[in-house]
Structure 1
């Protein structure tokens, strides 16, 4: 059975959105991009309206420097000219935040299979950083979380591990989405595939790696959730039955 439902009292620094009806059978962790905050992703969670799913819109631990608005998952921000470097470290920032939240959920009775991740930009990079590092140190890369939705996020350069044995790849399914001339290049997609057995790559017919713009772009993501979300009552078409 699923664990204790998360509440705002449990995760005071983050925004918890319970399902409108029924007890949750899944938990979705949402990680905003650099320069953003949890409010926008809390609205995204409400718009997704996933059945039997409690959503937790996480707040990145660090403010941006120089008085800039918003938060970041990395330990620092490195500027090269006008470009924002993605070669940031997460160990003392985003990794620690995500590790703390996941360990609390598991301590409260949630299984990895019932926990999902949705990240955008640096938030998605932070998710990959956590899974690739923690997978080799704690749960084992073969442990299976519910799934990862990555919008414009890739595996960052701080992940040095190389997985050559397919049996050691993660069983957690992943869907990575992005547009043209963004971070999601063929090489970046191949690197994700080198860590995870089940990877779906979605290339949008537009420039950049912004969020989903319309129902057509959102469809693969919703189909992914339909395939992976667990249910405690009846099993709608495309969903998975929750085991006791």
Structure 2
């Protein structure tokens, strides 16, 4: 059980972190207890934490504290925004910034300092109580985090130990080509969200993700483009995933399934 609600001061000072508290509990006896869930939000390439903090405030997930982390490095050339990559590279086909630019440094920071150091060790959360949602390059980082945490040689830290996160939602991004696929499949449930005929989340990219994760669900928009959900219909698979995976002290939502 969590022992405290995270605050920005629980995280390294070099990281830009915002914490959106859970909506007030209808049960007064539980209003002072830390929320039983953490949702970690990772923005896309070239963005900042600001837009995702607004998203956190808008969705108002019950019994869930939302932690938004800004990319670990600023983009060069006065491009503005931040990224999660080890480097900045350009896609030779499109000329746009390439999401898959190596994620070793950001993965180490997010696993060691954010998940294990702050959420597990300082705040008492178990891995099963932490979910990650990322967009674009942030989605790749979210998948890399889950895989790294599941590796046996990286376990036995705090009360998190070795194991699976509550889940990963990656919008517009598969498991990166630059990531390792060696070892047993990870048991963190994954939801991939993508547009119809997505170039990034191609059939081959989905197969690559399924080589790393045991439970992978794919939901595609009726429209083209891998942007954030922009309608109730597009957001529905995300909310259903939340309902299945987030824990509740108020009772288990009808139709929920526990996957251990």
Quick check: TM above 0.5? yes
In structure 2, the partner of 1:162 is 182
Residues 87-96 or 212-221, more deviating: 87-96
Name the residue aligned to 2:10: 10
Aligned to 2:31: none
CA contact (8 A) 2:149 2:162 kept: no
Is contact 2:87–2:102 with CA below 8 Å preserved after alignment? yes
Residue 239 of structure 1, CA deviation: 4.9
How many pairs does the alignment contain? 237
**Range moving further from structure 2, 137-146 or 92-101:** 137-146
The answer for unaligned runs of 5 or more in structure 1 is: none
Q: Which runs of 5+ in 2 are unaligned?
A: 26-33
2:239 aligned residue: 222
Question: Which of residues 48, 59, 71 in structure 2 aligns to 1:48?
Answer: 59
Question: Which is strand-richer, 1 or 2?
Answer: 1
Pick from 171, 174, 186 the counterpart of residue 203 of structure 2: 186
Q: Provide the secondary structure at the position in 1 that maps to 2:242.
A: helix
Q: Is 1:111 equivalent to 2:114 in the alignment?
A: no
Alignment TM-score, normalising by the size of structure 2? 0.84
For residues 155 and 210 of structure 2, the distance between their equivalents in structure 1, rounded to whole angstroms, comes to 19
1:95-244 counterparts in 2 under 5 A?
A: 95-103=108-116, 104-107=118-121, 108-136=123-151, 137-139=153-155, 143-163=163-183, 168-179=184-195, 180-239=197-256
Counterpart in 1 of 2:30? none
Tell me, in whole angstroms, the C-alpha distance in 1 between the residues paired with 2:9 and 2:257. 30
Change (3 A) 1:67 1:52: same
Kept after mapping to 1: 8 A contact 2:150/2:164? no
User: Structure 1 residue aligned with 2:106, among 93, 96, 116?
Assistant: 93
Report the Cα offset of residue 88 of structure 1.
1.1
Indicate how the Cα distance of structure 1 residues 170 and 94 shifts in structure 2: closer, same or farther if over 3 A, else same.
Answer: closer
Deviations 1:206-239 (A, max 9, x none): 1121110100000011000001110123333345
Question: Given that residues 181 and 211 in structure 2 are in contact (C-alpha distance below 8 angstroms), is that contact kept between their aligned partners in structure 1?
Answer: no
Q: Return the match for 1:60 from 68, 71, 93.
A: 71
